């Protein structure tokens, strides 16, 4: 078992954003895949304790009291959590601005419709390769056919938006850049191409990063030129439109060549109830006991305390800092 350490301060005196507006809940740190840039193998240990449904409800109430307006369920693999549908149903009652899930889609064939019916609006699907052999290699044993059936189920369920997240690794899947984009566009899915970040196992792939600029150059024949634009309240991705169809676009997420920490309004909650103000450090504090006690106000106070620990985003350069290598993406909620 690994344990996430509790409290060290590397904070700026004043966080740039006054309070968190968006949160990622690592519903579970368990995952059925072991992507080469995320974890070393499938048996690298899980957290000892996890919040149950009731505690998650209190946690979310506290987060909303503290100002959070957008919630994304992630992990680990959030669809492995037995209560993922009730959690979404609960979130749907809160009048939030956004409720979304990031998933590897291995369980989406079964869960897409129940999740949609429970109020889920948007889904991000992580899929790095359309080649079954390469997919199995990059995920250490994942089955592409299962994931593709999950994608079809998501399309049939009628979500407001489906995005594809593909982490691009040099000499692994970089030859698939155009295929991933065209495949997504053909299905009304928004493709997003991610640089490998030096977080967790990604720290061992520093010499195989394909930068967003390189990806963009390779896709130049498909895309408009000019400045890639961020979408308001939609995270760090920057988008370029398709050259021949303004309804299509490609997103680039540059956690390595250009960190996007300034103005970050994101908090993460690990599956054991640890509040994590930054993806690139293990700093944080636990709100587990408050959540288990049903005390949403105490959770809200803990959120405010955790937020004072948020690095300033100017002197601290996010996932390019050495502390990122020690972070478990599964544990913190990638």
Q: Which residues bind ligand SAM (CB under 6 A)?
A: 31, 35, 37-38, 74-75, 77, 102-104, 126, 165, 167, 194, 196-197, 199-200, 202, 329-330, 334
**Which of 81, 9, 72 has the alpha carbon at shortest distance from 46?**
81
Cβ closest to ligand SAM, residue 296 vs residue 332:
332
Between 58 and 126, CB nearer to ligand SAM: 126
CA–CA separation, 124 and 109 (whole Å): 14
Which residue has its beta carbon closest to ligand SAM? 202
Which is closer to ligand SAM, CB of 251 or CB of 273?
251
Nearest distance, CB of residue 18 and ligand SAM, angstroms: 27
Contacts of 23 (CB under 8 A, 6+ apart): 63, 68, 70, 71, 72, 266, 267, 268, 269
One-character DSSP codes across 73-125: EEES-GGGSTTHHHHHHHHHTTT-SEEEEEE-STTHHHHHHHHHHHT--EEEE
**Residue 186 Cβ, how far from ligand SAM at the closest point, in Å?**
21
Distance CA 17, CA 294 (A): 28
Least distance CB 65 / ligand SAM (angstroms): 26
Which residue number, 128 or 300, has a Cβ lying nearer to ligand SAM? Answer: 128
Sign of the C-alpha dihedral computed for residues 51, 125, 152 and 169 taken in this order: negative
Least Å from the CB of residue 31 to ligand SAM: 5
Nearest residue (CB) to ligand SAM, 10 versus 208: 208
Give whichever of 66 and 267 is closer to ligand SAM, judged by the CB atom.
Answer: 267
Handedness of CA 199, 201, 204, 207 (dihedral sign): negative
Q: And the tokens for 41?
A: 């193998």
Q: Parallel, antiparallel, or unpaired for β 266-269 and 274-276?
A: antiparallel
Element at 27 (helix H, strand E): strand 22-28
- Which residues are CB-contacts of 312 (< 8 A; sequence separation ≥ 6)? 11, 12, 14, 15, 16
For the chain, where are the alpha helices, taking DSSP H only? 53-65, 84-92, 108-118, 132-139, 144-157, 177-186, 212-218, 288-292, 296-307, 329-332
Query: Min. distance of Cβ 199 from ligand SAM in angstroms?
Result: 5
Which residue matches tokens 């895309």?
223
C-beta of 197: minimal distance to ligand SAM in Å? 4
Our CB check for ligand SAM shows the closer of 11 and 259 to be 259
Residue 47 CB, nearest approach to ligand SAM (Å): 14
Q: Report helix, strand and coil shares of the chain as percent, to nearest 5.
A: 35, 20, 45
- Minimum distance between the CB of residue 104 and ligand SAM, rounded to whole angstroms? 4
CB of 333 to ligand SAM, least distance (A): 7
Considering the complex, state which of residue 61 and residue 249 has its C-beta at the smaller distance from ligand SAM. 249
Hey, which residues does 285 pair with through a beta bridge?
Answer: 275
Compute the distance between CA of residue 74 and CA of residue 60 in angstroms, rounded to an integer.
14
* For ligand SAM, the closer CB: 77 or 283: 77
């Amino acid at each position: 078992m690994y344990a996430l350490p509790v409290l060290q301060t590397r904070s700026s005196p004043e966080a740039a954003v006054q309070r968190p507006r968006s949160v990622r809940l690592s519903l579970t740190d368990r995952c059925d895949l072991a992507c080469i840039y995320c974890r070393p193998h499938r048996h690298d240990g899980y957290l000892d304790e996890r919040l149950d449904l009731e505690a998650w409800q209190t946690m979310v109430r506290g987060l909303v009291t503290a100002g959070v307006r957008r919630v994304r369920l992630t992990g680990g693999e959030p669809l492995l959590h037995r209560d993922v549908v009730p959690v979404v149903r609960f979130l749907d009652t809160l009048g939030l601005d956004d409720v979304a899930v990031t998933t590897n889609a291995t369980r989406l064939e079964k869960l897409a419709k129940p999740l949609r019916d429970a109020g889920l609006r948007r889904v991000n699907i992580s899929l790095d390769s359309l080649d079954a052999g390469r997919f199995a290699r990059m995920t250490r044993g994942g089955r592409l056919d299962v994931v593709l059936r999950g994608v079809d189920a998501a399309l049939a369920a009628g979500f407001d938006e489906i995005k594809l997240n593909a982490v691009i690794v040099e000499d692994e899947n970089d030859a698939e850049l155009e295929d991933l984009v065209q495949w997504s566009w053909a299905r009304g899915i928004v493709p997003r191409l991610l640089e490998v970040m030096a977080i967790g196992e990604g720290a061992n792939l520093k010499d195989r990063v394909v930068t967003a600029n390189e990806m963009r150059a390779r896709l130049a024949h498909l895309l408009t030129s000019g400045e890639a634009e961020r979408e308001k309240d939609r995270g760090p991705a920057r988008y370029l439109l398709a050259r021949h169809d303004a309804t299509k676009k490609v997103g680039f997420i540059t956690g390595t060549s250009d960190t996007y920490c300034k103005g970050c309004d994101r908090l993460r909650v690990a599956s054991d109830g640890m509040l994590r103000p930054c993806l690139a450090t293990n700093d944080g504090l636990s709100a587990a006991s408050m959540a288990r006690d049903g005390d949403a106000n105490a959770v809200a106070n803990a959120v405010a305390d955790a937020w004072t620990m948020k690095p300033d985003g100017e002197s601290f350069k996010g996932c390019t800092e050495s502390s990122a290598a020690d972070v478990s993406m599964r544990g913190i909620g990638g």
